[in-house]
Chain A
Amino acid sequence: MSDTHSESVGFVRKTFIEPAPPPAREAGAVKWLRENLFSGVVNSALTILSIIFIVWIAVSVYPWFANAAYGTSSLAECREVLEGVNAACFSVLQERGNQMLFGIAYPSEQYWRPLLAFVLLFVCAVPVLFSQYVPRQTLIGTALYPFFAYWLIWGGTLWLSIAILGLLIAAYFVPKVIAGLPDGARSGLGLVVGGATGLLLAYWLAVGGLNLWGLASGFAEGGGTGGMIGAVLFYAMAAFVAVTFIPMGIFTAYAVWQSAERGLLLSTVTTIAFLFVALNFVAGPLAGVLNGIVPIELEAVASRDLGGFMLNMILGTVCVSLSIPLGILLALGRQSSLPFIKGVCVVFIEFIRGVPLITLLFVANVVLAYFFPPESNIDLVLRVIIMITMFAAAYIAEVIRGGLAALPRGQYEAADSLGLDYGQATRLIILPQALKISIPGIVNVAVGLFKDTTLVSVISMFDLVGAIRGPILGSADWAGIYWEAFGFAALLFFVVCYGISQYSQWLERELATDHR
């Protein structure tokens, strides 16, 4: 090669070439279009199909919105106003919008109460949702919110909420008071509380054993294979109780008494007893007395009068917030090394996850009442809350189990080597990390659960969907107005669910401490 150069004149450029703009097809919008929309035959076909589809949707939907009728009092009037044009009749939202939001029976002059509770929900959720940016003290407001919101929505006297709150706070101080007692007094208290607990437990077990015995004989009389299995099972349980009820009582009494010097068991038992007595016998009368002195009352609204989107919101928020702690406990139980506790948790979780929510709602509707004492009258909303909470807890437990399993073993060992006990290690090291990993999953469950609250319409509760299907589509005025009504419902759910999922993605980015 070198000899060719020796005969030619070397060419050295003396000036720069002026930078030229790229070719038109390699720049700007044209390039973007070529790369993103028309990069091949298939791609171009897809693009054209999509554009046709979008245009078709727009052309068919826009007039429906644009020509919509407002301010009429029935669908028939709407049709008259529209004169044969196929367009929306948004009058139904003007006329029945309140029923969709608050249900058909909630007194209309009280709408400000759920509205206020709704607004406060956001205010009080801020310290939890944006805890990095808000001072911790504001959490007090969040803690007070459930009591206030309960009063706002169900009405009655505010003093009931205050009394329950006060008693809960008092219960918090019970262990501290016991720890502060002099040794002799604490030992005496241990003897009294332990004796009482032992006697009570022995009595309950004896009664329970008799019940089991009765049930077993019932099964035995019924006969058949199922009856025999049931009889054997319940006879075994009855026999177990018969053998253990006296030793159990004595052992419990002894355990509570013995623990007096450290105080953990004693204070737990005492606190539970305190709460039981306080909430059952003190809260109501106390609230009555206080209300007699300074009446702070709102018109009481029965649970069955709640409805509409409000009911979906109540069920969603209450059940999610209750199911998270329950789910954590179940997940820890499932990861536990104690085989019996693990077994119970596994059976519970797998059972709940294997059946549809509807069957659980049927249970809430027709079966659950059979399992409460005959004289108790637990209203439907509470029964539904119990079942949905159990349902959500099983799913959240699985999500958190994933988080627990994802933690490196070193974290557990590090906690051990620091000398932390199980409770401290779980609370300070394991759970914070596991929960962080589980956030997307928990949010998914929460969104799914919120959507599933519409299923209560199947057991004829008038939530948003129930109100539309029942009173609105069922009325003579508005029969056949499904697009407008269900479109509104879909929009409401979309806004809330999409908002929650966007928040969770933001939170995930916020908590991402790795790869920084």
Chain B
Amino acid sequence: MSTISEERLDSGHGGAPSGFKLGMLLNDTRYRSYTFQFIALVLLILSISYLVSNLIANLEEAGLNISWAFLAEPAGYDINQRPIEYDSQSTHARASIVGAINTLIVAFLACVTATILGVVAGVLRLSNNWIVARLMSVYVEAFRNVPVLIWILIIFLAMSNAFPQPRAFRGEAPDAEMWLGLFAFTNRGVYAPSFINGAGSTIFWIVCVLSIVGVFAYRRYAKKLLYDTGRLLPMGWPSLAILIVPPVLAFFLLGSPVSLETPELRGFNFQGGVHLRLSLIALWFALAIYTGAFIAENVRAGIMAISKGQTEAAGALGLRPGRIMNLVILPQALRVIIPPLISQYLNITKNSSLAIAVGYMDITGTLGGITLNQTGRAIEAILLLMLFYLLVSLAISAIMNVYNNSVKLKER
């Protein structure tokens, strides 16, 4: 656009400018752009001052002021999911932090699940199998064209109505049974076993983490070897072995440092284990399934952007379809898939604010919900809320852009 407005003298005002005249601010394109910007600046300041003066007048009329003191006052309400220490005597600031962590938890879970779902559905939608491809089309269209809020509410209400009450598990011949004796699906949420860490558990967990790292290192090494020398190391069983053998060995050598605590019915409810609230599960599933449909479309578009010749060339080299997908198509398609994938992650994070519809206490429920209603500090609370989401959005795009740069086409 710069080419249009730059360096063209207005011919109506004759000849080369000998000196600066006031009229040139309007009629000479060299100066006119400055004039326009100056006017825009003045208008911006004018509108800011207009809004601010209204704000001041309104606040004065309502007897309010802008103050952040409420953040240090005790919140006085309870939060049902507490990733960190919190009770009703904690401050509003701490309540907001709890909410923020809850937002990040559900966003992370949903991002991972949605990616898996989306990649599977996107690949299957291009499958040669007619029925599977149609089923995936139905999934994608059904979820893309209905608001996510409706999905969240349907899943939440369906689960809270379909799952039995905790007391159905009681008695000699209970109406409901725990799944595998470990998981209890009730209308108050899912009760899952949790770990009890005994002596030496730290070493065990370190071994677990190391073996996961080891799997990635091995696969990376095998891939590098394949690209460098063409030697193909087996991928499947060694990674499985690296993943399973060291932790199992460590488990027995250390004398079973970690045991499971299964939830048990005591009194009116299950005790022990991990309690996944229905609101969390509904939100997580709904966000994952909904966004998975969008990711599936991105994956499909990414795969279709790779020329068919690549598949054919790989086939001519004798690669099997699975290998073609993993070694030839997906690495190239990633370049097309990642940028929209970043915005889907951002969407999940932002859509997690719908938690307020099912009563999951994320930051919209704490800072933007109860804190706002209790203290009446609407402007401050909403400002902080927006700031939080802005920071998270910026962080996600920064991280994903780094990854995007690492997979993009390396050119001279």
Contacts and interface: CB of A to CB of B under 8 A. Distances in A.
Contact of A480 (B45, B142, B161): B161
B58 A369 contact: yes
A465 B1 contact: no
Contact of B4 (A241, A422, A501): A422
A494 interface: yes
Contact of A455 (B25, B146, B149): B149
A337 B2 contact: yes
A294 to B, nearest CB: 39
A457 B390 contact: no
Contacts, number: 228
A458 interface: yes
Contact of A341 (B6, B40, B42, B52): B40
A447 B145 contact: yes
B41 interface: yes
A103 to B, nearest CB: 17
Which one of B22, B351, B353 has the highest number of Cβ atoms from chain A below 10 Å of its Cβ? B353
B389 interface: yes
A498 to B, nearest CB: 5
B45 A339 contact: no
Interface string B301-331: 0000000000000000000000000000000
B364 A359 contact: yes
Contact of A358 (B4, B54, B364, B372): B364
A229 B55 CA distance: 19
A209 B49 contact: yes
Interface stretch (A63-71, A119-127, A169-177, A253-261): A253-261
A214 interface: yes
Contacts of B142: 494
A341 B36 contact: yes
Nearest to A358: B353
B356 interface: yes
Contacts of B173: none
Given A37-B130, A50-B135, A341-B36, A486 B157 contact: yes
B354 A358 contact: yes
B7 to A, nearest CB: 11
B158 interface: yes
A237 B385 contact: no
Given A412-B1, A451-B146, A371 B51 contact: yes
A340 B37 contact: yes
Interface in A484-504: 486-487, 489-490, 493-494, 497-498, 501
Contact of B379 (A255, A265, A358, A367): A367
A54 B135 CA distance: 9
A18 interface: no
Contacts of A457: 149, 357
Nearest to B141: A498
Contacts of A332: 1
Contacts of A421: 4
Nearest to B36: A338
Interface in B261-308: none
B260 interface: no
Interface in A23-37: 35-37
Contact of A355 (B22, B56, B129, B390): B390
A354 B390 contact: yes
Interface string B133-164: 00100000110111111100110011001000
A335 interface: yes
A336 interface: yes
A262 to B, nearest CB: 8
Interface in B20-73: 22-23, 25-26, 33, 36-37, 40-42, 44-46, 48-59, 61, 66-68
Nearest to A50: B131
Contacts of B37: 338-341
12 contacts: A35-B128, A37-B131, A46-B127, A211-B50, A353-B393, A359-B389, A362-B385, A366-B378, A451-B146, A465-B153, A486-B150, A486-B154
Interface of A: 35-37, 39, 43, 46-47, 50-51, 53-54, 204-205, 207-209, 211-212, 214-215, 218, 222, 226, 234, 237, 240-241, 244, 248, 251, 254-255, 258-259, 262, 265, 332, 335-341, 344, 351, 353-359, 362-363, 366-367, 369-374, 412-413, 415-416, 420-422, 425-426, 430, 447, 451-452, 454-455, 457-458, 465, 469, 480, 482-483, 486-487, 489-490, 493-494, 497-498, 501
6 closest cross-chain pairs (CB), A and B:
A208-B49, A211-B53, A337-B2, A356-B350, A497-B145, A451-B147
Given A258-B26, A340-B40, A370-B55, 18 more contacts: A36-B129, A43-B129, A51-B131, A211-B56, A258-B23, A338-B33, A351-B390, A354-B389, A355-B386, A356-B350, A362-B382, A374-B57, A416-B3, A422-B1, A425-B4, A469-B357, A486-B154, A490-B154
